[in-house]
A and B are shown apart, each in its own frame.
Chain A
Amino acid sequence: MPNNFWWLFASYAVIWSGMFIFVMQLLSRQAKLRREVDHLLRERGGRGASDGDIQA
């Protein structure tokens, strides 16, 4: 194993696991927000469920 391989491995592991955690956090927040909007809209008896799609 080349010298210092584990420091390199740790760096890339941090980058990709950090990315994974960030995306998972985004997805779980997306689901929670969508549920909350749907609940509030139902409560108001207004328009249908929000599509919650990604938008710019």
Chain B
Amino acid sequence: MKVIDKILLGLSATGMIALMYLVFMVVPADRAQGIVQKVFYVHVPAAWVAFTAFGVTGFFGLRYLMTRDLRFDRLAASSAEVGVYYITMVLITGPLWAKPIWGIFWTWDLRLTTSFILWLLYLAYLILRRSVGDRERRAQLSAVVGLISFLDVPIVYMANRVRASQHPAPVVGGGEGSGLEPIMLFTLLFGLFVFSTTFVLLLRARNGQAALEDEIEQLYLQRD
């Protein structure tokens, strides 16, 4: 393991413990929703990191199309895989938060539906990668699908900003009347930092594996 990965691992591990301390020992419970509102400190950072991961997939997909360098394709695919993990966490923790507050796990409103579509799009991206044999064609198709799928990210982001939604209104960057207590905002931003370092660590690990997978594919081709 390289030094940078050791640093990222240390930051992620200690950050997670510190985040748990902040969430359960320091931040007060929300007046309206009570203790269950603390799901917010993992639900929102997971969503932001998922959006970033899909942005990274689109960016490196575009770089691949411009350069035909497979290193960019590997980074794009690795980021999509890690992003799917984060968006899955969003789609599980959201209903667990919704049930005691709304009385239901799920409703097909714009924010929730577009988030679910985002998850389906990147699952399709990963399935596509497994179903195309030719390496170059796989990279080209994935880059195009990764770029098109990213169009759903701003739609998810704007969904509860442009239209009334069952989903809570944004508390950061949500315009007049939105905002958080300083300790709540700090905990949210700290959660975002921890989830981001974990994302970079997982991305680097998955990308190293993708390089090994390509090496194996090449070795099989040489053998045949």
Do A26 and B43 contact each other (CB < 8 Å), given the known contacts A2-B29, A18-B89, A43-B223?
no
Among A10, A14, A40, A54, contact of B5 (Cβ-Cβ < 8 Å): A54
Among B1, B34, B96, contact of A14 (Cβ-Cβ < 8 Å): B96
Do A2 and B35 contact each other (CB < 8 Å), given the known contacts A33-B216, A40-B216?
yes
- Which one of B114-122, B159-167, B203-211 is at the A interface? B203-211
Whether B219 pairs with A18 at a CB distance below 8 angstroms is no
B99 at the interface (CB under 8 A from A): yes
Q: How far apart are A54's CB and chain B's nearest CB, in angstroms? A: 4
Q: How far apart are B37's CB and chain A's nearest CB, in angstroms? A: 9
Q: How far is the CA of A52 from the CA of B211 in the complex (A)?
A: 9
B residues contacting the other copy or chain, number (CB 8 A): 40
Interface string of A4-27 (1 = CB under 8 A from B): 110110111011101100110010
Whether B206 pairs with A15 at a CB distance below 8 angstroms is no
Query: Which residues of the other chain, A, contact B209 by a CB distance below 8 angstroms?
Result: 26, 29-30, 33
Q: Secondary structure at chain A's binding surface: helix, strand, loop or mixed?
A: helix
Do A15 and B220 contact each other (CB < 8 Å), given the known contacts A2-B29, A4-B36, A37-B215?
no
Query: Which residues of the other chain, A, contact B99 by a CB distance below 8 angstroms?
Result: 7
Q: How far is the CA of A42 from the CA of B104 in the complex (A)?
A: 57
Q: How far apart are B152's CB and chain A's nearest CB, in angstroms? A: 22
A residues contacting the other copy or chain, number (CB 8 A): 33
Q: How many A-B residue pairs have CB under 8 A?
A: 100
Whether B212 pairs with A34 at a CB distance below 8 angstroms is yes
Whether B35 pairs with A50 at a CB distance below 8 angstroms is no
B174 at the interface (CB under 8 A from A): no
Q: Secondary structure at chain B's binding surface: helix, strand, loop or mixed?
A: helix
Q: How far is the CA of A52 from the CA of B215 in the complex (A)?
A: 11
- Residue of A with least CB distance to B200: A56
B92 at the interface (CB under 8 A from A): yes
Do A15 and B35 contact each other (CB < 8 Å), given the known contacts A10-B96, A37-B215, A54-B2?
no
Among B85, B92, B211, B213, contact of A22 (Cβ-Cβ < 8 Å): B85
B97 at the interface (CB under 8 A from A): yes
B140 at the interface (CB under 8 A from A): no
B residues sitting closer than 8 Å to A (CB atoms) are: 1-2, 5, 16, 20, 29, 34-36, 38-39, 42-43, 46, 85, 88-89, 92-93, 96-97, 99-100, 198, 202, 204-209, 211-213, 215-216, 219-220, 222-223
A residues sitting closer than 8 Å to B (CB atoms) are: 2-5, 7-8, 10-12, 14-16, 18-19, 22-23, 26, 29-30, 33-34, 36-37, 40-41, 43-44, 50, 52-56
